[in-house]
Copies of this chain bind each other. A is one copy, B any other.
């Protein structure tokens, strides 16, 4: 029997070229978080199932997850999201300095049918502010999101940060007499608005929300895209939730976050949101899945007992972000193909090998990355390897070089040759790079 050469469907396998693209994106995300003072943490992939049953709900924790009993019969889950583990960590930490500003890059698992933008093993970027109940926390999260998109080269017209208020939605729907259960059903329907045609969606609303007046309210609410719209003002004006929404909308204006837009149709799927909710998405039609989704939750650690902890946070899918960047051709061309080595040292014969190996070590000590030939093949084959690996400079180490200690650097693009001392190499490389950038 020969084994399959493919990984399991939907799993994350990255060649060096693909890894460089992911590293580029991870680097930008990390940088964006760091300049606001977010710190990285990490939680396990394998968790007790009960933690996710309590926090993520049955749909995500059981139906859409990889879960199994261990050899001792304990029910385990491969995390489908990060938040329950964050809650556990915060509950366990004796003393934290609030506001806690944490970020993480968890690999998560969902047992779903793979499709564009959705796989079974995926890396996420999670960012949370804990212990702040005012809207300044939401504003900071929006600033981080804008910085992320800017730093990756996205222009404001290409993406949109849509936000709404779970609190406002709950206030309006409960005031027309809907029960908690009916409201949860209504959120699920609102969440489908963008995925269906208008008449299909209306039909679904009428099927789900039996009371005709309530169905009208759900549709009217979900279609609001201006906090100042007359229907919204008449229905909710003067309530705390409405005032909060108007205030937040003003804060976004003052901070110049023009990419953000109110859209009551954004309610987000997860149960634990209680205030402002938001998502980042492509304004074009190619990427239907949100790049990022998040919101305010008011009692992160409740189920562990102890004090209430409020928070605002989001999860951002690296795959959906990458698809977005590819759509707008925003991944710098050189990244995936760039080989990280400065110099290839070709070795003339075994006689010079000891000299060459020690020379390579000296260069590396000076911060130069060096690939030395280890195949023992002839020089022309060695040059071919350097060429195929796209290495910028080659130096041949032969009897002359071993005797004199001086080497000749050949620029593989221009063909220029420079004879120099080993100590001069770093300077020549820097100069060479400057020339290339200037061209």
- Rounded to whole Å, the gap between the CB of A184 and the closest CB of chain B is 22
Interface residues on A, range: 35 or more
Least CB distance from A27 to B in Å reads 13
In the complex, which residues of chain B have a beta carbon less than 8 angstroms from the beta carbon of A43?
Answer: 7, 13-14
Interface pick from A189-197, A262-270, A350-358, A401-409: A350-358
Closest Cβ–Cβ distance, residue A162 to chain B (whole Å): 21
Which of A3, A43, A368 has the most chain B CB atoms inside 10 A of its CB?
Answer: A3
B-contact bits for A198-239, CB 8 A (1 contact / 0 none): 000000000000000000000000000000000000000000
Q: Does A23 contact B (CB under 8 A)?
A: yes
A60-77: CB near B (< 8 Å → 1, else 0) gives 000000101111001010
- In the complex, per-residue mask of A4-42: 1 if CB is within 8 Å of any chain B CB, else 0: 111110011111100110110000000000111101111
A97-126, CB under 8 A of B: which get 1 and which 0? 111011000010101000000001100000
Mask, A296-314, CB within 8 Å of B = 1, is 0000000111000000000
Question: A19-B41, A35-B368 are known contacts. Are A121 and B46 too (CB-CB below 8 A)?
Answer: yes
> A46-B109, A353-B136 in contact; A370/B36 too (CB < 8 A)?
yes
Contacting pair A374 B137 (CB below 8 A): yes
Return chain B residues, CB-CB under 8 Å to A255. 354, 357-358, 361
Q: Which residue of B lies closest to A89 (CB)?
A: B13
Is A319's beta carbon under 8 Å from chain B?
Answer: no
A396: interface (CB < 8 Å): no
Q: Are B35 and A99 in contact (CB under 8 A)?
A: no
Name A49-103 residues within 8 Å CB distance of B: 50-51, 54, 66, 68-71, 74, 76, 78, 85, 88-89, 91-93, 97-99, 101-102
List 4 tightest A-B contacts by C-beta distance, closest first. A11-B44, A68-B68, A37-B371, A16-B39
Q: A19-B39, A140-B372 are in contact. List 16 more A-B contacts (CB 8 A).
A: A2-B304, A3-B50, A3-B88, A5-B91, A8-B74, A13-B44, A14-B43, A15-B93, A35-B368, A46-B121, A68-B69, A78-B78, A97-B388, A97-B389, A136-B353, A136-B373
